[in-house]
Amino acid sequence: MFKNLPKFVFFTGKGGVGKTSLACATSVNLADDGKRVLLVSTDPASNVGQVFDIKIGNHITLIADVPNLEALEIDPEAAAEEYRERIIGPIRNTLPEKALASIQEQLSGACTTEIAAFDEFTALLTDQALIERYDHIIFDTAPTGHTIRLLKLPGAWSGFLESGGDASCLGPLAGLEKQRERYVTAVESLSNADLTRLILVTRPRTSSLSEAARTYRELADIGIQNQHLAINGVMPEDALVDPLADSMIGREVDAINGISTALASLPQTRFYLRPENLVGLDALRRMNQPVETLRSDAPRRALDNLPPLSRLVDDIEADGKGLVMTMGKGGVGKTTIAAAVAVELAARGHEVLLTTTDPAAHLTETLAGDIDNLEVSRIDPEVETQVYRDHIMATRGASLDAQGRKMLEEDLRSPCTEEIAVFQAFSRVIRAAGRKFVVMDTAPTGHTLLLLDATGSYHRDILRHASETSARMVTPMMRLQDPSQTKVLIVTLPETTPVLEAARLQEDLKRAEITPYAWVVNASLAATETTHPLLVARAATEASEITRVQEALSLRYAVVPMLAEDPVGANKLRALVAG
């Protein structure tokens, strides 16, 4: 595992690369060596509890059979509720009901949830009693986009307050002034190489390594220099002949050899692909043991009649138009599946718009050229935010005096502005689906749920202010809830943790009255004909997860095999659909 770790250790990277597994295994390894360890998840979609097979939640919990290890999952919703109560509690009995309701509405959005989680995060970096209690505090952070934003917040808010920003005018940010000293301390801790190390977790794939390089630069720009590269899931080289295994090894070698100079300069640790899912203490402790090529004679569990993606496309095509959304945890292949569905629909003669809200997506690289009937776009958060700011300043700000414009500019620098701007772009895309197919590659689950929460807030606000004459009004949320207009494809991998994450996403969607249309199990070894012992062993672990999807989680599903070649370009994407 990792050597000479400082007090604070962050595991970060694109979703699905194994951050949680490495964070948990590192924590167990340190605790087994006699160190006092606190493992903290700041991921809105945390699954640390599943890895240890215990309920953790938003309180420090001792991990059974590892006496020196305790864990904490920062629950964004619970944190938000506590944060709201801290603001509303002291004034609940002093304000008129209408004014109180207005404040509660201000504090009901996703921005409050993020700020509340950030508030708890900084507390862990600055609580001296807590720091002295542990030798190491290990953070299993959220997928890269959320983590970058989370790590930037201490600097952003201390800078905002330092410049004289009026936090009281920013709704959910009320009360930040009281935390100024704590935020400054948090920034200093994050930038102190003697106190903090950030481990960039990646897969040995070009897109994942490129994402790690971007993360490295963004973190370095905010003063976090003490970084370490962990390449997880490397296929061990051996003399066995297997087309799929040989292809995987070749692609991984090319990807690693092609990493940027900056990334190559970082200290690096490689972890080989394991024959088992990293769930449970025994499996976590085996992470320290070398991988031996398995030569088991155990038969592969047969999975008959695995439906290809083409069957789902047939059903989707029947409506002639509509919104198709691929959703799921980062790293499960949403971009590829979205591109494949869009290309297939376009090849069948339909007008298709393929778009993404994911800042880490690479649609143009996947398509590798122009395709008839297919338009490609991207909702760029930075661009949309700037357009929104400019519009507000040109309209609402036009009638303000200099002081009023200054206050409005301060308001528009809050993180909430990006959420509103992206939502407006998202709504425009939803409307386009009324006349053609729109296939949307969404961002990783946490970001997507924030987006849908914004949609729901807008929906509730419209209905609350709608008159009887606007009964026919159709909001974006109504379109998402209508299965004849929107089909959500939940994309997952045939592994325990991704399936658990996807099941949790499905429940969240159902609470928002959005019923997923189908599941897509991507990159399945069980759907291939590999004979490599390690891959056969991995394939055997998939059977129970695919069966669970089939029998308990979805009426419709498709299984896409692990491919020997990257599905780049129209022909390979269509071949992926055909299975």
What positions carry a catalytic annotation? Answer: 16, 18-21, 43, 497
**Residue 187: both structure tokens together:** 């920034």
**Interatomic CA distance for residues 165 and 386, integer angstroms:** 19
Q: What 3-state class would DSSP assign to 382?
A: helix
Helical spans, DSSP H, in 412-488: 416-432, 445-465, 476-481
Angstrom CA distances, 546 to 48, 341, 554, stand at 22, 21, 11
Helix residue ranges per DSSP H, 438-532 = 445-465, 476-481, 496-511
DSSP per-residue codes, 11-52: EEESTTSSHHHHHHHHHHHHHHTT--EEEEE--TT--HHHHH
What is the Cα–Cα distance from 13 to 46, expressed in whole angstroms?
Answer: 14
Q: State which amino acid sits at residue 377.
A: S
- How many of the other CB atoms lie within 10 Å of CB of 390? 12
Amino acid at 541: T
- Classified as helix, coil or strand, 567 is coil
Give me the sheet containing 196-202, strands edge to edge. 61-62, 69-73, 37-41, 136-143, 8-13, 196-202, 227-234, 268-272
Of 61, 30, 58, the C-alpha closest to 121 is 58
- Cα torsion through 32, 36, 37, 38, rounded to 10: 140
Total count of residues recorded for the chain: 579
Are 76 and 117 in contact by the 8 Å Cβ rule? The answer is yes
d(CA 328, CA 480): 16
Euclidean distance between CA atoms 497 and 434, whole angstroms: 36
What region, left, alpha or beta, does residue 276 occupy, with left being phi > 0 and alpha being psi -120 to 50 degrees?
A: beta
Q: Hey, what are 8's tokens?
A: 């604070």
Please state, in angstroms and rounded to a whole number, the distance separating the CA atoms of residues 310 and 325. Answer: 16
440 contacts 326 by C-beta, under 8 angstroms: yes
The SS3 of residue 322 is: strand
